[in-house]
Amino acid sequence: MHSPATMSRAFPDISIVALDRAMTGDLQHKIDQKTKPRGALGRLETLALQLGLIQQSLSPRIINPHVLVCAGDHGAAKAGVSAFPQEVTWQMVENFLAGGAAINVLAKQAGMKLVVADAGVAHDFGVRDGLRSLKVGAGGTANYLEGAAMSDAQCATAMANGATLAREFAAAGCNVLAFGEMGIGNSAAASLITHCITGLPLADCVGRGTGLDDAGLERKRALLAQALSIWPERPQISHLPLAEGEDGRGSNKFRPAGEDVYRILARFGGFEIAMLAGAMLAAAEARMTLLIDGFIVTSALLAAALVSPAVLDYCVYAHCSHEAGHHLQLEWLKGEPLLDLGLRLGEGTGAALALPLLNAACAFMNEMASFESAGVSEEA
């Protein structure tokens, strides 16, 4: 059982300010005065409004965008929850460092700085250019089929490491932070985390991950059910639905959960998932826009939102993954994805593909003529 004192020694206090929506009217007026019918730019208009509120500016801009890819190994991976062997995690990190992965290509195309963080990969990379070594456990997490994946202190340290990175990026002027991950077996951990936080049926949260066949999928579901069965003291987290008339974007309210979120993260692990949750909280505290990727990244967001619901105000949901359970996570969070391309790669690839839409939203706000400046008559 975690105690608040135990967690606070390693994980810094986070204070996220809910969005000040006083500028909504002025932002909407500027959007509506562009030379177009009202609402004609669809989601770009709501995106421009959100970016303006986050930045508290009538002229929002994307500055020095980063994508943080956190990598970690999972003890349960060797039990058969993935179609790929565990060593693929470190091999893919090498691929990131060599510039050969999908996220390298897409981040470069989008003009994003890629940062790869080793949260706990079972491999010694040594000192490498382009790699932030922040290992919490050198061999990855423990096997949650036998007990807790990580200790209280390890969970807090992983979250604190993520927060430190996000604050470094903010100090470098970054105002948009995208999130990605790498870790064989982490879709299984994300399924368990999602189930425990939302109460959605476990079977609905479990997908094929890296490409399990039907037999492999059934085995994965059975193993995850087994993992739950040996944790009878797991916390029951209640969710408060939206109040009548509340705006769904970022306004979900979670019942105060005390230390429950840390207990769930520590039990089912993912040093990289805990690191992502900490980075999200610190990024929102720094008033960055958070560009949320797929299923595993969204499981980290679920955890972050239990710590501070205000984090959701700063989130843009890049896409809806093809992985089973992601659309359920998005429905739960009242999050509307920008793209639906059938992606299921992870790495932050969906987030990198969505960044040009944020640039487009800023561009029309800052460069498109108004009816008055262009001498165009407004609609009657």
Residue 117 lies inside a defined structural domain of this protein: yes
Nearest to 286 by CA among 133, 142, 177: 177
* CATH number (domain holding residue 113): 3.40.50.10210
Residue 357 within a domain: yes
Burial 286-300 (b: 16+ CB within 10 A, else e): bbbbbbbbbbbbbbb
Q: How many CB atoms are closer than 10 A to CB 85?
A: 11
E runs forming strands in 168-320: 176-182, 239-240, 253-254, 289-292, 315-317
Catalytic residue among 168, 347, 367, 372: 347
Tokens 């390890």 locate to: 154
In the chain, the number of structural domains is: 1
Angle at 361 between CA 355 and CA 365, to 5 degrees: 150
Specify whether 347 is catalytic: yes
Q: Collapsing DSSP states into helix, strand and coil, what is residue 113?
A: strand
Tell me if 327 sits within 8 A of 361, measured CB to CB. Answer: no
Q: Are strands 239-240 and 253-254 parallel, antiparallel or unpaired?
A: antiparallel
Measured CA to CA, the distance from residue 355 to residue 331 in angstroms comes to 22
Beta partners for 180? 69
pTM of full prediction above 0.85: yes
Q: How many CB atoms lie within 10 A of CB 246?
A: 12
Q: What is the DSSP letter of 124?
A: -
In a domain, 29, yes or no: no
Residue 198 lies in a domain: yes
Contact assessment for residue 138 and residue 72, using Cβ atoms and an 8 Å cutoff: no
Is residue 249 assigned to a domain? Answer: yes
- Distance CA(147)–CA(251), nearest Å, equals 35
**Residue 226 within a domain:** yes
Do residues 324 and 220 touch, judged by C-beta distance below 8 A? no
Question: Is there a domain that residue 285 lies in?
Answer: yes
What residues contact residue 138 under an 8 Å CB cut-off, 6+ apart? 120, 122, 124
What is the full per-residue pLDDT of the chain (380 aa) written as tens digits? 334 344 444 566 889 999 999 999 999 999 999 999 999 999 999 999 999 999 999 999 999 999 999 999 999 988 877 778 899 999 999 999 999 999 999 999 999 999 999 999 999 999 999 999 999 988 999 999 999 999 989 999 999 999 999 999 999 999 999 999 999 999 999 999 999 988 889 999 998 877 788 887 888 889 999 999 999 777 766 544 433 334 433 334 444 354 688 889 999 989 999 999 999 999 999 999 999 999 999 999 999 998 899 999 999 999 999 998 999 999 999 999 999 999 999 999 999 999 999 999 999 999 999 988 988 888 76
Domain with 303, as residue range(s), is: 58-363
34 falls within a domain? no
Backbone angles phi, psi at 355, to 5 degrees: -55, -40
CA distances (Å), origin 187, targets 82, 113, 210, 257, 300? 8, 25, 8, 24, 11
